[in-house]
Chain A
Amino acid sequence: MIIQAAINGIFFGAVYAMIGIGFSLVWGVMGIVNLAHGSFIMIGAYISFTLFAAYGLDPFASIPLVMIILFALAYCIQRFLINKVVRGPSFITLTFTFGLQILIANLCLLVWRADYRSVKLSYSSAQLVESGVITIPLVRFGIFAAAILLTILFYLFMRKTRTGIAINATALNYEGARTVGVDVNNIYAITFAVSAALAGAAGALMLPITSMNPFFGGDIINKAFVISVLGGLGSTVGALVGGMTLSLAETLGTVFLPSAAQELIGFVFFVAVLVFRPQGLLGKRFY
């Protein structure tokens, strides 16, 4: 029972890590707590759902398309809207992204209705490993593998490409990056777009094992806070650790605790980490 819970926790932790990476990327680079991050996850899941329902496209196969759509959408949002307030104080960006979140939630409600949406895959009952002690469903393993693959790709993008290095440079020193010729507005837009693309992919990955509704975006944002605060801002490895920790705590917690107590402990732990270790559990702040 506990081993099974731990395995489920680690597998799903990879998806949480993807959510946390995007969220803490935007926070670390631009200083924006993006309250609309959950909405991007939700849009990703809904696009994937529509592709499955209309064309029978497998959610795993729809990930590239979902990522491209969200990249384009988020690029425009940052380039034409958020860039105008990005240098403002924290309450401005918080309020702005919250406004964005309720707008997106309302649009999703109009387009996809309030019903719970989920997909049933033909191989959803197939098991990769099946023994007396543990079972690993194929779908969960696929989700894990895809999430880890995307995380590695993101890591390489940040380290090896010119754009990734420019993002790092902007995060380290805004004025300095501008001085050496980085188009900061463009880099901000790309950062936001990459973050949203990862969120969209996470949404598509969550679809086969959860159901989606228009309030999902507002609910999951609390988890993004916890993951990025646990991991520290802007570090890929940190987000992995944060995602795994939260996911393990949740799955193991359901074995031992009622869900309300579990959430309470989560929030208390979150505040405690914020107060006593604002640089995250691993100890590095920013890039």
Chain B
Amino acid sequence: MKRKSLTLCVLALLAVITISLPFLVSGFWVRQFTEIFMYAILASALNIIAGYTGYTAFGNMVFFGMGAYTVAILMTKANFPFAVAFVCAGGISVIAAVLLGMLLLRLKGQYFALGTTGAMLAVRQIVDIWSDLTGGTQGISVPRLPGTPYFANAFFYFFMLALLVVTVLFVSRLHKNRLGYAFKAIRANEEAANVMGINTTKYKIIAWSLSAFFTGLTGAVYAYWFSYIESKTVFDVLWVTNMFVMIIVGGMGTVLGPVVGAFLLQTVSRYFWSRYMTLHLGILGTIIIFAVLCIPNGILRVRWKGITGFLFEKFLAVKNAGAEKENR
């Protein structure tokens, strides 16, 4: 009972801070936080297929790019309003995930990772070739959000925040419902799951479609937010790797792990990027190497001691207790 009220207090505090933040800090920081939220959504979405279901979707950015290009094309060529294009982006990502999933989800481990990467690079080439529609390698401009820059910053901040909250709430349901149990059964032992009567092919496709849905929607917001996209940024392997690092740092298959990981990695990465421009990638590489070596199970599963240990145990690890038990 006491723990529950404490959790509620922390949640309320977090809500107050995140909601009041754009009115307190400068536009630069609002954009930084929007970016962190974006990475957190992408990492959480990847967590559904990679963390819960155990399929290393190394080409998951394919849906991000598809979502972004859907918005860009529909808004410029067909004059659709953003809201409609946004919904279409989610739909197209799901359709793509179902089709690609039927083909690729029969692969396992590294083969699946490479297959999805190959699919992503193939889609990127199609985008580059089909320049009448997509602008090719030149990229494509998206109409800007009307209004002042101040309004735009706040708009995208809250949009990303809302999407993040929806994603995290959805993922947290996976700890309790049948769908989540099916995913985790596939991760634990796919053949056994099959024998137990779980239609593994169906659930794997559902898992990837859900992951694709949130990734595609994020891509859609990204396109409208940046108002310019090009194929080499929206289909970038480096982004996927970053997301994997965020999940690894935070904790694979936990609800808040990807969010914590996104926050940590993005903050550290920004810090070094602004200070040591030429060394940025090298430092990021070093961080990746040591994150994987030192905390392969995630920061949420490290046994913390002292006051930080108390905070982690009390607030963050509460929801992850289930995942921790099962991973042993």
Which residues of A does B touch, CB under 8 Å?
A: 27, 31, 33, 81, 84-85, 88-92, 94-96, 98-107, 109-110, 222, 225, 229, 260-261, 263-264, 267-268, 270-271, 274-275, 278
Q: Binding site of A, secondary structure by majority: helix, strand, loop or mixed? A: helix
Please indicate the chain B residues that have their CB under 8 angstroms from the CB of A103 in the complex: 281-282, 285-286, 289
Check if A102 sits within 8 Å of B238, measured CB to CB: yes
Question: Which of B111, B118, B129, B296: most chain A CB closer than 10 A?
Answer: B118
Interface segment, B8-16, B31-39, B100-108? B100-108
Main secondary structure of the interface of B (DSSP, over half): helix
**Contacting pair A106 B293 (CB below 8 A):** no
Q: Which of A94, A99, A225 contacts B286 (CB 8 A)?
A: A99
What's the minimum C-beta distance from A92 to chain B, rounded to whole angstroms?
Answer: 6
CB–CB A102/B113 < 8 A: no
Contacts of B128 in A (CB 8 A): 260
Do A264 and B288 have beta carbons less than 8 Å apart?
Answer: no
A94-B56, A96-B288, A260-B128 known; A274-B244 Cβ under 8 A: no
A276 to chain B, nearest CB (A): 10
* Residues from chain A with Cβ under 8 Å of B296 in the complex: 85, 88, 92
CB contacts under 8 Å to A, within B199-232, are: none
What is the interface residue range for chain B against chain A? 35 or more
Count of chain A to chain B residue pairs whose CB atoms are closer than 8 Å in the complex: 127
- Taken together as a complex, chains A and B put the C-alpha atoms of A91 and B55 apart, in Å, by 9
Chain B 236-247 near chain A by CB (<8 Å), digits 1 or 0: 011001001100
Chain B residues with CB below 8 A from A105, complex form: 281
CB neighbours (8 Å) of B98 from chain A are none
Lowest 9 CB-CB distances: which A-B pairs, in order? A99-B288, A103-B285, A106-B282, A267-B122, A264-B125, A102-B285, A106-B281, A271-B118, A91-B56
Interface residues of B (CB under 8 A from A): 50, 54, 56, 58, 103-104, 106-107, 109-111, 113-115, 117-119, 121-122, 125-126, 128-129, 237-238, 241, 244-245, 248, 252, 278-282, 284-289, 292-293, 296
Whether B289 lies near A96 (C-beta < 8 A) is yes
- Least Cβ–Cβ distance between B240 and chain A, in angstroms: 9
In the complex the two chains form, is A109's CB within 8 Å of B114's CB? no
Cβ contacts under 8 Å, A260 to chain B: 125, 128-129
Chain B residues with CB under 8 Å of A89's CB are: 54, 56, 109
Report whether A95 and B245 are in contact in the complex, using a CB–CB cutoff of 8 Å.
Answer: yes
Complex Cα–Cα for A84 and B293 (A) = 7
A226: shortest Cβ distance to chain B, in Å? 9
A32 CB, nearest partner CB in chain B, Å: 8
